[in-house]
Structure 1
């Protein structure tokens, strides 16, 4: 904490706050003995961008025409952050806000050890910054600038508190440039640590396996979480009843058993083919499970998971003594198993094996401890950020504890970071596949290994990366030659999955704008995998074979075949084989809401579209050729629902035997 020479900072109230609730917070800055001159600046930041965006005065006129108290607010613009000044001088401030990431290395790592500069170490990562630029005159020592964040005079609900519990959060920080020199020093009273606590039990959630076989008993699971789909402040121990919605499934006579934070009702038996669900009732409300497809002859199971989860050791910062996420590896796995009811999780902390990261051993051990074959699968893994070569998550088939090691880098042997990483995977004693993600930020697709780069994240809480054009789920920049479609046009053969990447430690939690960064404004996604059994080896092998797809978090059932071959297949035919010229595509979609459209994409163009107008679809389409093609085509399925949820199948590639040259792409 700094001394008072640069003024003092107070925050009221200082918590605790309830996650996802609304609040009004008053920041009071009192000018210190160094004063605060015209041209100076006061800056205050929130712990992260999960807190409500500070909306400040938007001038009615061009700012260069008005100054000081003559500036008035545009009544068409929302405002929730206001100020007043207590001064005998004519000093005033212009309030503005921004999102910014403070990087200690820019100013030098030793800078945060200098008196008054400690704030650099605890103001890391993306945050909202409220800025007050001094104009008109100088403030004198003892003058006050009072900023109301969540002013209910203009916004009746105040501002939202971050929608997850954390104790303590990263702090509120107040720094000041007293003379306009650009030297930002911390005010006394800063930083201000706060606690955010969970809400009461409020939301009932329930999950049923997505694909069932007639006569094969299954288990339905349910829990009651808080409003933000995190653990409530106290576990729900009240009444919970289960009921069928039709005669396709029978419930047992016994009660559900307690499984940690959830209830599990086993012995649920499907008796008729079709689509079914179960309702779970508690005093907090009624929840219906995801739809389940009941088959008379079920050949394989459909499992749900997150291949991109992060714990407290993600992107570890030695300056802060914490990482860019929350929760221990054990807490993360417990949530996935008992609250979001995932079947598998890969804990992929960024740069976790590095010698500087204290969590590599604990992360690996948790994957071993929580692995329960046929109930819950955990994968050893980590994430490697490579700048323009993109980011990749490494997912291991084996799980043991190895010591920390240096992450491979570009060298004389490896011209780029990506070359070094892929060689590391090829030469490892473990079997490793990688998943490219968030690749429409920056990515050079020129480095790709089809035996290692088996899957790509087509969607996560950062948005969708399938295409540049027909992509309603991407609110960011869309640069050329970085989409999933572009990768396919190069002849690459990755499967599609979706993931969370929410930097929070709650895999499977899928709510809009529920994460620490404003750029993560989409719901977390899920990976769906068709596998014969729920074991680490079977799920990994299915991912390697690309028998998988991705959704925006909804458990949409998707089946896609070409001439009987399932998603992820590479199909080759002899030149005389009729199936090379006549391709029968079949799809089954069981939605969680009305299905707006089902698209069959071929070579990056729309081949066929169906608009079912209901929550299920059966699609059959024949793609015929006058003559046998000489290049390899690719097809995949894309689904959009009325509620905004979507799903993407892995592609199927088909062409003449021995041919890998891709057909001309129709764009991206």
Structure 2
């Protein structure tokens, strides 16, 4: 196989129909992507009806030089140096804020912006296809068309795809190339073994065609490109067929309808095609209506999930909620739901019948049953098939506490989800509905990447988040993920507005700048996630803002380098573990999340039998189920939630809603205190039997005890007296492999002043 290398498509045509508007804003805006290049000078042309719109890309502003009188009307902005990165990075290019003043939203539908390295290019009177030919040698309307069979596949099932490519009315010359894209979440394409997963071959052809290159895409780190060489070219309306077999499939439903790879994360269907007239010209995407589309659909109903609240005082609005899903936890599932079930609560040996789910459905796949008056204690709900009495599902434990009890309530949620607003998919507003209705969470937050968001988008996103906030019932936080020179951090606030910092902008690409702005702000909190993967470093830690670490997500666990859930995408010498950060002096509480990129916060797709091996999203490196955060707080509202995170009154789980309490010499998790000894007390009420409890002290497991029970208590006295400050936390393992981590407690020797923070 003789590999062919083709460079980036540096000459871009940007459809301005995607510009964003916000009432009162003085400009339209959008985020654009430009590949890296050592030459940063570009010439700009705008096709539109307005006479003098002003264009800004980042901090570079361009005024119109002249406008043609021919139709279509082009405005020449001359050339300027743009803030393009000059070396390749993880994103293979850079994202920029495009702002246009002097243009109305309705005028954008048929307007285009050309950004090109061709400084002498003239576009007066050129149609869009003529412009494409000048830039790329080929117009999208001449690039041909494709069909795909099957075009609809059930989640998690393998498929043998047949992609038929047919040349356009102009045909293709000898030496032309056709590129097909395959997601890394699928079986890796190969030509050597026809019986192995990923095998790709040419089936039928009207010309001499060969697969010459299979390699990592230079435009996307999530795609593999298959490049076919047409030795003799193609006559008009002739073509060839490519066959590709994958044993792996997305486990989350969704539609893939894009033809153009505008961003590295563009959601292309399998075997999406692009054409280059020669190895010296760039690949050109097919027109949107000439490329194929693809849809992944849910499977049949296979699972029932039951949810109870965490810890509450009794009230009349406590309820049991149930959600039916397919095998991969997608809701609603395809087909009918069998509602032939009986439900009950168990408290020890006491059984409290709840009756049938019939009559309590809030949707065709969800039900909710109000709970009767409950005395203080621990409860679990069970679902049984009415005919066979087979156990179908069990809930998490619920603790009802005395009215006079000094304990705070415990709430479940997840604050790290991505949507189509950045490099994910799924509607932004739908993320909150899904978290509340499907996942039965108490709180949620989206955390889309700040550098992908335009100003007007962020204004609208804040309003959407605020509209889903209902104190006492369901709470949302404003938040985003910052990524710059000091790696990734998530930032959240209890307010209705949050200043946006983009890590790819020169003025805000330093974490020190971000933390300095938020320093001592008690309504803002930040923290790292997947610390080993993202190469988290210590030097930029700011204790007034950075109060938590996401110890677990779909990446895996970040507590130890040799743990059972260690992320697979790490190398020797990468970032610090959470224990490394604690040992350096950071005082961080623990949260867990998903980092899900499908807009399914806290209740995302999972493969129950494929933890650590099945890609749980379109990103091939996210191999574990979504995590969950427990927040201990007096009431359910934004301010209490931010304070719980800041005060480290949270703990993390791999998704199971395990109740736990952990204190050291009377000091609750998250606190700092002085004591003459470290007396650790743990109480756990699990979803499945607990098989192991571990106490970690200063990054080492100092005590390990095996169990086989749903409800366990454990006490351990550290035989060594504290001579300096030490931290302790609890690690819980269930028999099914699900885990939980309490936030740490810091104990100082008695010779130091006593305080708690």
Please state which band the TM-score falls in when normalised by the shorter chain.
0.7 to 0.9
| SS across alignment from 1:363 | helix
Residue aligning to 2:739: 646
Residue aligning to 2:588: 494
* Residue among 140, 146, 170 paired with 2:241: 146
Kept in 2: contact 1:223–1:339 (CA 8 A): yes
Between the aligned partners of 2:140 and 2:391, the Cα distance in structure 1 is 52
Aligned-residue offset at 1:405: 5.8
Q: Per the alignment, do residues 276 and 233 of structure 1 end up closer, same or farther by CA in structure 2, a change over 3 Å counting?
A: closer
Greater Cα shift, 591-600 or 518-527: 591-600
Aligned-residue offset at 1:271: 4.0
Residue aligning to 2:443: 344
Are 1:8 and 2:116 an aligned pair?
Answer: no
Residue aligning to 1:565: 667
Unpaired stretches in structure 2, ≥5 consecutive residues: 1-128, 130-137, 259-266, 608-614
Between the aligned partners of 1:395 and 1:168, the Cα distance in structure 2 is 33
* Residue among 262, 269, 287 paired with 2:393: 287
Are 1:243 and 2:344 an aligned pair?
Answer: yes
Aligned-residue offset at 1:457: 0.6
The number of residues matched between the two structures is: 584
Kept in 2: contact 1:273–1:294 (CA 8 A): yes
| SS across alignment from 2:569 | coil
Between the aligned partners of 2:623 and 2:320, the Cα distance in structure 1 is 30
Q: Per the alignment, do residues 264 and 79 of structure 1 end up closer, same or farther by CA in structure 2, a change over 3 Å counting?
A: same
Deviations 1:219-253 (A, max 9, x none): 11112234443332789787464223464463567
Are 1:193 and 2:293 an aligned pair?
Answer: yes
Between the aligned partners of 1:236 and 1:375, the Cα distance in structure 2 is 30
Kept in 1: contact 2:346–2:379 (CA 8 A): no
Residue aligning to 2:417: 309
Aligned-residue offset at 1:602: 0.7
Kept in 1: contact 2:319–2:369 (CA 8 A): yes
Between the aligned partners of 1:565 and 1:442, the Cα distance in structure 2 is 32
| SS across alignment from 2:693 | strand
Residue aligning to 2:479: 381
Residue aligning to 2:647: 545
Between the aligned partners of 2:709 and 2:371, the Cα distance in structure 1 is 31
Kept in 1: contact 2:424–2:599 (CA 8 A): no
Aligned-residue offset at 1:5: 9.8
Q: Per the alignment, do residues 242 and 149 of structure 1 end up closer, same or farther by CA in structure 2, a change over 3 Å counting?
A: same
Q: Per the alignment, do residues 167 and 93 of structure 1 end up closer, same or farther by CA in structure 2, a change over 3 Å counting?
A: closer
Residue aligning to 1:576: none
Are 1:56 and 2:190 an aligned pair?
Answer: yes
Greater Cα shift, 242-251 or 637-646: 242-251
Greater Cα shift, 521-530 or 214-223: 214-223
Are 1:483 and 2:601 an aligned pair?
Answer: no
Are 1:632 and 2:725 an aligned pair?
Answer: yes
Are 1:536 and 2:633 an aligned pair?
Answer: no
Between the aligned partners of 1:555 and 1:421, the Cα distance in structure 2 is 33
Aligned 1:605-620 pairs, distance under 5 A = 605-620=700-715
Between the aligned partners of 1:80 and 1:591, the Cα distance in structure 2 is 45
Q: What is the alpha-carbon root mean square deviation over aligned residues? A: 3.7
The normalised TM-score by structure 2 is: 0.69
| SS across alignment from 1:336 | helix
Residue aligning to 1:166: 255
Between the aligned partners of 1:88 and 1:262, the Cα distance in structure 2 is 54
| SS across alignment from 1:448 | coil
Residue aligning to 1:395: 492
| SS across alignment from 1:342 | coil
| SS across alignment from 1:452 | coil
Greater Cα shift, 522-531 or 192-201: 192-201
Kept in 2: contact 1:248–1:270 (CA 8 A): no
Q: Per the alignment, do residues 532 and 326 of structure 1 end up closer, same or farther by CA in structure 2, a change over 3 Å counting?
A: same
Kept in 1: contact 2:697–2:729 (CA 8 A): yes
* Residue among 455, 462, 475 paired with 1:364: 462
Aligned 1:436-475 pairs, distance under 5 A = 436-440=528-532, 441-475=534-568
Are 1:229 and 2:324 an aligned pair?
Answer: no
Kept in 1: contact 2:531–2:575 (CA 8 A): no
Kept in 1: contact 2:678–2:747 (CA 8 A): no
Residue aligning to 1:263: 367
| SS across alignment from 2:707 | coil
Compare relative contact order (CA 8 Å, sep 6+) and give the higher one, 1 or 2: 1
Residue aligning to 1:96: 214
Q: Per the alignment, do residues 252 and 286 of structure 1 end up closer, same or farther by CA in structure 2, a change over 3 Å counting?
A: closer
Q: Per the alignment, do residues 298 and 435 of structure 1 end up closer, same or farther by CA in structure 2, a change over 3 Å counting?
A: same
Aligned-residue offset at 1:82: 3.9
Kept in 2: contact 1:568–1:650 (CA 8 A): yes
Unpaired stretches in structure 1, ≥5 consecutive residues: 60-72, 103-124, 152-157, 316-322, 574-578, 661-668
Deviations 1:467-509 (A, max 9, x none): 2233533212143552111111111101111111111111112
Residue aligning to 2:160: 24
Aligned 1:500-511 pairs, distance under 5 A = 500-510=594-604, 511=606
Kept in 2: contact 1:597–1:610 (CA 8 A): yes
Deviations 1:296-326 (A, max 9, x none): 757222211111122332x2xxxxxxx5331
Residue aligning to 2:224: 129
Kept in 1: contact 2:695–2:728 (CA 8 A): yes
Between the aligned partners of 2:710 and 2:189, the Cα distance in structure 1 is 39
Between the aligned partners of 1:524 and 1:603, the Cα distance in structure 2 is 27
